[in-house]
Structure 1
């Protein structure tokens, strides 16, 4: 690795140590101490839940259980078609397997037009409404997907470890710590009424410091990536704040945000939108800054005599390729997440400008473009910082073009 002078290490430390101290202080001051309790509404995600299991499934006539299927279409004006026989529904017997009512059973009727069907032995999640009549207290809210998700997570971890070896293990540990910061600090702190933007900046900075230094080591190369990420996050925060206000985005565009606001009225929903932009951009930013810093370090090692301008130009050629792929990835990721919404607008035959002007789509446009600007700026910014650091010990020799006797003069010293 190219040398870094002691003086430059002190300069980097003088910048980063106060930043790290501020992050630690913010964690201590804003630490929430758990999710605040509230009286459950019994609506949507706020329902009490238990585990259940399907113990029996049988076919019954829909008319016998007062569950005539809804075809979802108006009667045809043409001649009546031949009768196809009585509609057949499924009657599933569900057993509660957790909570104070473990062992209790109830039935669910599944119409033939429903997309979800049950099989004997299938695990399900149950919604519990204690205030409802006894026969209506439990209902199936979803299937239990724990096993396939844990299996997929295990495969992911195995692939990362096999390919990444020690770095892969460290990356997984950093991922667990990042998830812990998100669930133990960021989410509870926002629910306690702390400013979402401040919480996102502090929590995101903590995740960045832990992930980068754990995976890439405590050295000048990682410190440059941290500085590049920090500056880019600052730009994203400023741009996001300006354009969220300018575009009059409320952030309250979904059932989830509406429910959160009804349960915790003190939460600033617009700040929650900005916090989401910052946290969502953080992972891709880490990738960009680490890649550019590593590129500069490797280029310097391959050609120690390269001038700063030549080193910067070579690294930027790599960075421009990275920009093209990362921006496209980010846009497609947001488009994929909003695909059902875009389909609905297509069905409504609304024009592109009308669709883009709706708050639902405008929110995603601002999120995508602000994050993309931060990513693009991170490339030249981090590259310039890295070039300055790796060239710090070279003195005035940078003014001599490569291949004009520099090696002879260095050996003569």
Structure 2
């Protein structure tokens, strides 16, 4: 992989073919190591749990339907359920529906009925058709395919319209990320491979492709890649230690317990640490690319500045970026866990008591580990970028314009007007 000027500008300075070849060799070694890791951890199809979906049982299917009417139904909901947890008080609902399989009726519980299912809504239902019995229906979910597709198209159009080719290549990078996750990493987890090495191999492969796709092949991008890999290694090491130190088992919710039953080979403890690596990729990528670009821009603006001056200036930018990125991590968790946070306030328990539960502690540790990797990636990337950026050089003095009259010769004083001489 050769390094060229990604934008056709002079930010990269004069060509440095020897450095480009050395860096290409290092990147090539990393790519080969990723390929070997993929070969080692690639799961065979018979190791991956199959046919575990309860909705694929004989006579059971998920179909699309349209609500024709919804009527309140008194069902005595409220109080405590069989598991001791409070139930939603209120009326249930009787829902009539029509589908390609004919008409049917289902009962909504009070919680779902309270949110509202109205005539004309497009829903998905579980159709259970036993031999010799009339089919029965259960509510599964709303049909969201069209809104999700339209939102994705709007996002893609805006990204391409604003960022142009860079935006298009970034979208291709998203597709590559999803491909690696769904075809390699997640199947390897299910097959019982050690999740943390799998996450490191998969994440490194994603960064190799995504960074060069989105930002071009250049020495500057390679500096960002090396900084990202450094932050990735720190996140993985600290995540593995923090997971054991905090006694995170990976069984913090009902979904975790179902996964343990469906895929008994999965190391849920290791999945917690692997999730920390994957979750930190986006912010790491953002920070390292910004730091590398800052160093190159500073070098272009101050070609005669020393490496120490460039590093100091870039770190001032990096400190601001660290502050905003740490907020991003916290806000992202607060937004995704809003229901849990509301429940904490409703229970009127202390924040410390709730934070030490498995479900919340996983997110807290994940956020803190990601923040540690992010913070340390900034000076690492800055050091690497300063070392790889063009060397300091003196500013060339501008030559006089051909139409500009020459200045006075050295050692010869220009005659001043008599008035100014008298002054």
SS at match of 1:105: strand
| Inter-CA distance 206–142: structure 2 relative to 1 (3 Å threshold) | same
Alpha carbons 2:49, 2:262 under 8 Å: kept? no
Partner Cα separation in structure 1 for residue 355 and residue 131 of structure 2: 43
Displacement of 1:112 after TM fit? 7.0
Q: Which residue of 2 aligns with 1:186?
A: 185
1:107 alignment counterpart: 105
Partner SS, residue 94 of structure 2: strand
Whether 2:47 is the aligned partner of 1:56: answer no
- In 2, are the aligned partners of 1:197 and 1:274 still within 8 Å (CA)? yes
The structure-2 alpha-carbon separation of the partners of 1:261 and 1:90, relative to structure 1 and needing over 3 Å to count, comes to closer
Residue 414 of structure 2 is matched in structure 1 by: none
Please state how far the C-alpha of 1:168 moved relative to its aligned partner: 0.8
Residues 1:196 and 1:56: Cα distance change in structure 2 (over 3 Å): same
How far, CA to CA, are the matches of 2:20 and 2:137 in structure 1?
62
1:290-321 Cα deviation digits (max 9, x unpaired)? 01101111111111111101111111111111
Counterparts of 1:243 and 1:350 in 2: how far apart (Å)? 25
Kept in 2, the 8 Å contact 1:285–1:378? The answer is: yes
- Please give the TM-score of this superposition, normalised by the length of structure 1: 0.82
Worse overlay, 255-264 or 49-58: 49-58
2: distance between equivalents of 1:69 and 1:235?
54
- Count, aligned residues: 375
Using the TM superposition, give the Cα deviation of residue 355 of structure 1 relative to its aligned residue in structure 2, in angstroms.
2.4
| Structure 2: segments with no counterpart, 5+ residues | 1-10, 81-89, 400-423
Radius of gyration: which is bigger? 2
Q: Is the 8 A contact 2:104 2:136 kept in 1?
A: no
Query: Which secondary structure state, in structure 1, belongs to the residue aligned with residue 75 of structure 2?
Result: coil
Say whether 1:31 aligns with 2:19.
no
Does 2:34 correspond to 1:17?
A: no
How many Å separate the matches in 1 of 2:70 and 2:104? 14
For 1:135 and 1:278, the matched residues in 2 are separated by 49
TM-score of the superposed pair, with normalisation by structure 2: 0.81
**Cα distance 1:207–1:49, how it changes in 2: closer, same or farther (>3 A)?**
farther
Alpha-carbon displacement from aligned partner over 1:43-74 (angstroms, at most 9, x marks no partner): 89xx96522212521547x3xxxx4353559x
1:70 to 77, 80, 91: 77
In the other structure, the counterpart of 2:198 is: 199
Matches of residues 369-408 of structure 1 in structure 2 within 5 Å?
369-391=368-390, 393-394=391-392, 406-407=394-395
Whole-Å separation in 1 of the counterparts to 2:49 and 2:92: 41
CA pair 222-33 structure 1, distance change in 2 beyond 3 A: farther
Superposed CA deviations along residues 184-207 of structure 1, whole A, max 9, x for unmatched, are: 111112112221112111111111
**Counterpart position of 1:246:** 245
For residues 264 and 53 of structure 2, the distance between their equivalents in structure 1, rounded to whole angstroms, comes to 14
Q: 1:72 to 1:284 in 2, by over 3 A?
A: same
Where 2:114 maps in the other structure, the secondary structure is coil
**Do the aligned residues in 2 keep the contact of 1:289 with 1:378 (CA within 8 Å)?**
yes
1:358 is matched with which residue? 357
Distance in 2 separating the partners of 1:164 and 1:367: 31
CA–CA separation in structure 1 for the residues paired with 2:131 and 2:201: 43
**Which residue matches 1:5?**
16
Of residues 112-121 and 335-344 in structure 1, the stretch that sits farther from structure 2 once superposed is 112-121
Match of 1:76 in 2: none
Partners of 2:79 and 2:135 lie apart in 1 by 26
